[in-house]
Amino acid sequence: MSPTANRRPRGPKAVPLGDAAAYIELGRRVDTALNTRALRLAAALSARRGVREAVGAYAAVTVHFDPDVISLAGLERLAGELLRDKKGEPLRGRLHRVPVVYDGPDLAAAAEALEISADALVQLHSGPIYRAFMTGFVPGWTYLGPLPPPLQLPRRDRPRTSVPAGSVAMAGQQTGVYPLPTPGGWHLIGRTSLRMFLPESDPPLLIRPGDRVKFFPV
């Protein structure tokens, strides 16, 4: 028998981020199944003693922990155990229907670059139900995807210094809604009247990681 036959598969690696935080990477791609594992792991870790906060991203989890209660090695072992548990909590994301006026300043140019009509771009963009993968960039911004392959374009060569709140945009494999007036380099294809950032709410996000989003033209 091979000396490695009885070895367990290598578990996740916890990379230290200072004395009381760690980064656990599960993969390096935009994938809904991988994101589900990351969000489930974050939720499971958050409920464990010694973990102050666990934040899921596309395919990784950042964990803030109490080093007096759990060590980095202990965190690694715990993450591995939780990932091997096939009875984890289901991902209960809400479904949001987002009305969009598809009249963005980049709509025509994006359609031309993709070699499709503007109507086809709208139909393709409003067809899927997107996963809310993670939040970041500015308050209320949620990265959605994956975009259908025929819509995938690199970011703009020249980012704008200010993008209006409510702008619906896309770049690469992702789409999203600008929650606040900010600089931005994504292609603006439309706008919505829905508010993404809700500072009076807890959490202050309309769309949260694990939620689903369906755009529809108005």
| DSSP string computed for 141-175 | -EEEEPPPGGG--PPPSS-EEEE-TTEEEEETTEE
Summarize the confidence of residues 161-172 as an average pLDDT: 97
pLDDT band for position 89 (cuts 50, 70, 90) = low
Summarize the confidence of residues 147-154 as an average pLDDT: 96
What is the reported pLDDT for 214? 98
Which residues, at least 6 apart from 172, have a Cβ–Cβ distance to it below 8 Å? 147, 152, 153, 154, 155
Summarize the confidence of residues 86-105 as an average pLDDT: 86
Instruction: Give the closest residue to 75 by CA, choosing from 3, 15, 147.
Output: 15
Summarize the confidence of residues 70-85 as an average pLDDT: 92
Give the integer Cα–Cα distance in Å for 148 and 159: 23
Sorted by where each begins, the domain ranges of the chain are: 14-84, 95-217
Which residues, at least 6 apart from 81, have a Cβ–Cβ distance to it below 8 Å? none
Summarize the confidence of residues 161-184 as an average pLDDT: 97
End-to-end C-alpha distance for the chain, whole angstroms:
65
What is the reported pLDDT for 30? 87
Summarize the confidence of residues 21-34 as an average pLDDT: 91
| Selected residue with higher pLDDT from 93 and 46 | 46
Architecture (CATH level 2) of domain 14-84: 2-Layer Sandwich (3.30)
The pTM of this model reads 0.86
Residue 7, φ and ψ in degrees, nearest 5? -75, 140
Architecture (CATH level 2) of domain 95-217: Beta Barrel (2.40)
Q: pLDDT, tens digit, for every residue of 184-204?
A: 999 999 999 999 999 998 889
Contact 92, 208 (CB under 8 A): no
Q: pLDDT, tens digit, for every residue of 101-148?
A: 999 999 999 999 999 999 999 999 999 999 999 998 899 999 999 999
What is the reported pLDDT for 90? 64
Give the integer Cα–Cα distance in Å for 154 and 156: 7
pLDDT band for position 97 (cuts 50, 70, 90) = very high
